[in-house]
């Protein structure tokens, strides 16, 4: 009689635990990155009244099964469901969600241990640190190497560090991007073949202004001055035939008076009778030298002379208006950090006032062999356990089994309310049924006691 009562008590306890988990799930239905729990039951001890009997073919006797009475139920496991929650669009540039496996890596201080989260509601503090909603530093890499194709490669084998958008030990001050001196100037367009020939280069017929920058970011206004100076008749009877050519003389001048220039005197370019540029080493001086000398007496600007390579290969000479323009002049002035964005690869890119961009950092993710084995510690955070696998190093976004990032979105809770409410009804009925066992057992004991009367 007492066994049934104790079984009922175990059932009440188990179902109360399940209701506690359901209540926590429902309470966190809107918690960012929350992972719901699930309770599974298992039977506990069984009292064996009679063991199993083996059949005996010789005697023609059949076997018997064991006779056992169960002693109730218990909580077998409380599992953490690591399925991904739905994404909520926020359009906040520092909000991130992970499309796939992986966890963000955060730490509260230098003496703290690493913690992990799926909640990507990040922001910046006044020092430029990328931090979580509770002020913990987000970790990644900031040391990178430029590649020949213009991309960058971060040292993802290095130790991860707190991401700071303003400064770091590898890159220094990232709020200002250093100037880059102009090295190349590309010109494209047409020179009018109908212009008359002038015998001296002083009679400028078309001027193309362009801006270059020195190593400190100072802008210098230059101009290329073109003059049609000579025509050379061809010889169609020669073998091979020689086409007629037209020579244009160009000089470099200063429009702002801030520099002195050496272009080797007057230089020339040639076009053939089809309007195409004739290129050769003797007709295409490849570069000009620029010395910054504001007062014309001495180089007291603190800027070294620099060389600019000119490229006229995209120019033509047809019977049309002059239209030569500088289409690509590199170099730029000093720029201040205006804003930044985060890519799906986890790279933070700064956008500067001079139109340039520069990498600011790369977010690292953590991967575990058994994510469900992580231990919750509150604040949407997890720590490693003996069954989750150890955290050894940061993993680059999109590699080694971790997912990519979705900027401007947040991962919501993976709680399914329809399932939780269904489980709530089933749990309530289970609790109610077990309470009836205790009530009925009590009534039976009462009847047993009444036999004495």
**275-332 residue pLDDT tens:** 999 875 554 556 777 776 554 444 556 677 788 888 898 999 999 999 999 999 999 9
Domain 184-329 in CATH 2.60.98.20 = yes
DSSP structure class, residue 5: H
Beta bridge partners of 362: 141, 347
pLDDT score recorded for residue 5: 84
Q: How many separate helices (H) and strands (E) can be counted in the chain?
A: 2, 35
DSSP string, 314-349: EEEEESS----EEEEE--B--EEEEEEEE-TTSEEE
User: Measuring CA to CA, how many Å separate 214 from each of 265, 296, 329, 355?
Assistant: 22, 17, 13, 17
Query: Which residues in the chain show pLDDT less than 70?
Result: 1, 200-202, 256-266, 280-286, 292-302, 453
Supply φ then ψ for residue 17, to 5 degrees. -60, -45
User: Measuring CA to CA, how many Å separate 412 from each of 85, 117, 232, 416?
Assistant: 5, 12, 76, 11
pLDDT score recorded for residue 236: 72
pLDDT score recorded for residue 262: 54
Q: Residue ranges per domain, the chain?
A: 2-49+67-83+414-450, 87-177+336-411, 184-329
pLDDT score recorded for residue 202: 66
**45-94 residue pLDDT tens:** 778 888 898 988 888 889 989 888 888 899 999 999 999 999 999 999 99
User: Is residue 8 within a helix (H) or strand (E), and if so which, with residue range?
Assistant: helix 2-27
pLDDT score recorded for residue 264: 47
- Residue 76 token pair: 């077998």
- Other Cβ atoms closer than 10 A to 164: 21
């Amino acid at each position: 009689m007492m066994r049934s009562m104790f079984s009922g008590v175990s059932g009440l306890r188990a179902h109360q635990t399940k209701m506690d988990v359901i209540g926590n799930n429902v309470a966190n239905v809107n918690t960012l990155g929350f992972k719901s729990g699930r309770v599974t039951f298992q039977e506990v001890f069984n009292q064996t009244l009679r063991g199993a009997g083996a059949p005996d073919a010789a005697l023609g006797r059949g076997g018997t099964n064991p006779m056992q009475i169960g002693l109730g139920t218990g909580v077998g496991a409380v599992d953490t469901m690591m399925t991904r929650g739905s994404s909520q669009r926020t359009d906040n540039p520092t909000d991130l969600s992970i499309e796939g496996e992986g966890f963000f890596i955060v730490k509260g201080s230098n003496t703290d241990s690493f913690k992990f989260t799926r909640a990507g509601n990040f922001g910046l503090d006044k020092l430029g640190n990328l931090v979580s909603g509770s002020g913990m530093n987000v970790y990644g890499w900031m040391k990178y190497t430029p590649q020949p194709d213009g991309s960058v490669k971060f040292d993802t084998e290095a130790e991860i560090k707190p991401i700071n958008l303003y400064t770091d030990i590898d890159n220094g001050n990232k709020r200002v991007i250093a100037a880059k001196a102009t090295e190349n100037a590309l010109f494209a367009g047409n020179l009018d073949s109908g212009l008359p020939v002038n015998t001296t280069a002083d009679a400028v017929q078309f001027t193309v202004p362009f801006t270059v920058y020195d190593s400190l970011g100072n802008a210098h206004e230059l101009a290329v001055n073109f003059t049609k100076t000579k025509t050379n008749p061809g010889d169609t009877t020669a073998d091979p035939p020689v086409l007629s050519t037209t020579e244009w003389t160009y000089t470099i001048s200063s429009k702002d008076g801030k520099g002195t220039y050496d272009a080797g005197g007057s230089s020339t370019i040639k076009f053939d009778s089809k309007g195409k540029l004739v290129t050769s080493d003797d007709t295409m001086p490849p570069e000009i030298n620029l010395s910054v000398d504001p007062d014309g007496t001495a180089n007291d600007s603190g800027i070294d002379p620099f060389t600019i390579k000119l490229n006229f290969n995209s120019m033509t000479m047809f019977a049309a208006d002059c239209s030569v323009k500088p289409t690509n002049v590199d170099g730029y002035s000093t720029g201040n950090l205006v804003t930044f964005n985060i890519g799906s690869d986890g790279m933070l890119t700064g956008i500067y006032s001079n139109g340039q961009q520069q990498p600011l950092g790369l977010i690292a993710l953590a991967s575990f062999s058994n994510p469900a084995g992580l231990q919750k510690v509150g604040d949407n955070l997890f720590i490693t356990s003996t069954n989750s696998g150890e955290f050894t190093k940061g993993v680059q976004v999109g590699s080694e089994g971790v997912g990519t990032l979705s900027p401007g979105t947040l991962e919501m809770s993976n709680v399914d309310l329809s399932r939780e409410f269904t489980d709530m009804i089933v749990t309530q009925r289970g609790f109610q049924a077990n309470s009836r066992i205790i009530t009925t057992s009590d009534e039976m004991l009462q009847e047993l006691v009444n036999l004495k009367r």
